[in-house]
Amino acid sequence: LGGQVSGADNATVAAQADVVIVAIPWDGHRSTLESLRAELAGKIVVDCVNPLGFDKQGAYALPVEEGSAAQQAAAVLPDSRVVAAFHHVSAVLLLDPEVEEIDLDVLVLGDDREATDTVQALASRINGVRGVYGGRLRNAHQIEALTANLISINRRYKAHAGLRVTDV
């Protein structure tokens, strides 16, 4: 992670931050965001939650009434600037101090151009990572669901697979 890192309860951190990354289990998504609505007003909220279920056959995408976790966030946080990103970045790789570079692209989706540009730049601060605009927020369900496929790839090949967009 690098730099100066500190922590506090969700409400305190949300109130102090300019950009907030939501990385929580799907089961607590709506209730957590509802509890932070006031603190997140006016902020860029980066939702990287993947609504997934798991059974004996592996990971699978769950239906979301609003279309995607990111769209749910936008509905719950009407005064925030919601962007979908970081769905396919391995937490294992991010947290491993031995990993100097991560070879992947982060697809960034949203309806606010300035917010998506900010999140693309944030992604690009990670060595080896490139932020790539991936379309409007209404397409976030495709990105969230694709994570189930990457989990299957990672299990089969004992890897931390990511995505690269070519010719961009």
pLDDT score at 2:
61
pLDDT in tens, 16-63: 999 999 999 999 999 999 999 999 999 999 999 999 999 999 999 999
pLDDT score at 95:
87
pLDDT band at 126, cuts 50/70/90?
very high
State in Å, rounded, how far the first CA of the chain is from the last one. Answer: 27
Q: Is the pLDDT score of 1 beyond 70? A: no
Global pTM reads 0.94
Burial class (CB in 10 A: 0-12, 13-18, 19+), 41: middle
